[in-house]
Amino acid sequence: MMKAHRLLRAAVWLTAGWITLVASTQAATLSAPIAAKALKAKKLADKEHYQQAIDVLVPMPKRGYDQAYIARMLGIFYWQNEQLEPSIKALTIAVNSNELEAQSMWSTRHMLADVLLIDKQYDKALHQYYRLAKRLPKGNKGDKIWLRISQIHYQLGQWRKTLRGVQHYEQLGMPDAVQPLSLKVGAQLQLSQWAGAIISLKRLLLLEPDKKQWWMQLVNLEMRTKRYGDALDSLALARLQGIPFEQHDRQLLAQLYAQNGIPERAAQVMSTIKGLANNTNLLVTQAQYWQRAKAWDKAIETWQLAARRDKQYHWQVAQLMLQQGQYQAVLSVLDKVEEPEHKADVALARTRALYQLHQVDHALKQAYYANRVQPSVEAKSWIRYLKHLKRLSKKHTS
């Protein structure tokens, strides 16, 4: 709103300058006493003695052009003196008088609309702006009027009307600008117009490539619409653009690499997260990425880091070690797996490791134990196979 305040104050001074021109070219249409008052008030206002200028002009004349002209001056002086309510009343009188010539009427109505907007009388301001849009002076495209209309509808949460206002603005052939496009994106998001919002955000990024907000909204929308490849491209491009990444941004980038079938790159991105080694959840995520990438040594190393912080992950370490043939090492890791639900699986894992280490008797004991804890086809198969090996071994010995 502060930006709007500065814009409107600039508009006020422009109108005040317009008064100077009118005073010299149309003073003859005023009655002599009123013309004298107008000139005196203007000199006071030029010195920023607004209240004194107002005192000169009130009470305003009752009839005709004198009243319209003085009402317009008072509206401006009241505004400059930060008196919104009397400014609105005076400008309304001037506009309703029908005494002003077309260009003067349009400028005065514009001033009234601006002051109503500053006073947050949005519906009344909209009424005036729409009237301004219907009767534009020659050479005025109306782009600023339609932008203001769009802003007010957005302020009121009227999303479809916001989009219609921006559409009018764009149909004037105006070049892309941040303000109308940001209004358009906001309204499209509220209306769940995801595809349109993506297009608008890409236009915004051409204007503000360094603004993180636009990049993240684009990525989120591309993910929402299941365009994961596009989301990855956008987020990676944002990183190359130098957009600062927080921890959650890096996690998102890693997630997108994984979703797009590049788990090794996902794990590498995770390595750039500060405090990774002290965060169990992040370590688990990275270990899973390494595992999906079939980078077994790195996966084992990362699972081990996670297991140091939470012993439940010793089981993941053991499974990968067994898979990679680290039979001697896995035995000590299996000793650390304490969860009751893994008892049978741990016994079977020991069975396999001991068998590979040619410790058939110990392997058979573990197979029996696994079958007692939780009978299974696998356990029974190991028992039959290992007993067969023992018989063969006795025959060979004898």
Question: What Å distances lie between residue 240 and 214, 243, 244, 245, CA to CA?
Answer: 15, 7, 10, 11
Per the prediction, the chain carries an average pLDDT of 92
Going by pLDDT thresholds of 50, 70 and 90, the confidence category of residue 13 is very low
Q: What integer pLDDT is reported at residue 30 of this predicted model?
A: 87
Going by C-alpha positions, the residue among 381, 379, 356 that lies closest to residue 368 is 379
pLDDT at 302 over 80: yes
Average pLDDT over every residue of 182-205: 98
With bands split at pLDDT 50, 70 and 90, how would you rate the model's confidence at 398? low
Question: pLDDT tens digit string along 120-152?
Answer: 999 999 999 999 999 999 999 999 999 999 999
Tell me the pLDDT band of 19, cut-offs 50, 70 and 90.
very low
Q: Chain centroid to CA 141: how far?
A: 32
At residue 162, the pLDDT reads 98
In this prediction, residue 290 has a pLDDT band, given cuts at 50, 70 and 90, of: very high
What is the secondary structure of 16-74 as a DSSP string? HHHHHHHHHHSGGGS-HHHHHHHHHHHHHHHTT-HHHHHHHHPSPPSSHHHHHHHHHHH
Q: Over 60: is that where the pLDDT of 104 sits? A: yes
Residues of the chain with CATH 1.25.40.10: 1-140, 245-328
H/E/C letters for each residue in 84-95?
Answer: HHHHHHHHHHHH
Residue 310 pLDDT exceeds 50? yes
| Helix 228-240 and helix 212-224, axial crossing angle in degrees, nearest 10 | 160
Q: What is the pLDDT of residue 187?
A: 98
**Could you give the angle at the alpha carbon of 7 between the alpha carbons of 213 and 127, nearest 5°?**
95
Q: Is the pLDDT confidence value at 4 over 70? A: no
pLDDT digits (tens, 9 = 90+) for 316-375: 999 999 999 999 999 999 999 999 999 999 999 999 999 999 999 999 999 999 999 999
The dotted CATH code for 245-328 is 1.25.40.10
Q: Mention the CATH class of domain 1-140.
A: mainly alpha
Overall pTM surpassing 0.85 (yes/no):
no
> Would you say residue 8 has pLDDT above 90?
no
Q: Is the pLDDT of residue 47 over 50?
A: yes
pLDDT of residue 293 exceeding 90: yes
Q: What is the largest CA-CA distance in the chain?
A: 140
Question: Within 10 Å of residue 289's Cβ, how many Cβ atoms?
Answer: 26
